[in-house]
Amino acid sequence: MFFVAVGNLVAWLTFLLGSAQLGLALFIAWRPDAAERAWMAERYLNSSSGSAINEAVLMIGFSLVLGILASIGKSLREQQQ
């Protein structure tokens, strides 16, 4: 049950951080001025906005898979008891 709880916690934290990064990257990507967009991406993302969006989507996908696995583990544990 310990690993299910840790997996659930990691899934939620990864989802929240990935969502925050995705929101920030999309906010920067939609800036109208190219110079401001490049400056903000370098300052806040330390990469281009496109690669930050890709990384954030992967983080969100990982968190969803981990959350599903934790849910499966929890239901299997409840069935055994």
- Written as tens digits, the pLDDT of the chain (81 aa) is 899 999 999 999 999 999 999 999 999 999 999 999 999 999 999 999 999 999 999 999 999 999 999 999 999 988 887
Residues in contact with 20: Cβ distance below 8 Å, sequence separation at least 6, in sequence order: none
pTM of the model: 0.88
Is the Cα torsion angle 47, 13, 20, 53 positive or negative in sign? positive
Question: For the chain, which residues make up each domain, given as ranges?
Answer: 2-80
Residues in contact with 23: Cβ distance below 8 Å, sequence separation at least 6, in sequence order: none
What CA–CA distance (Å, rounded) separates 76 from 2? Answer: 14
Task: Give residue 81's pLDDT.
Answer: 77
**Under 8 Å between Cβ of 47 and 41:** yes
Task: Give residue 22's pLDDT.
Answer: 98
CB atoms closer than 10 angstroms to residue 75 = 11
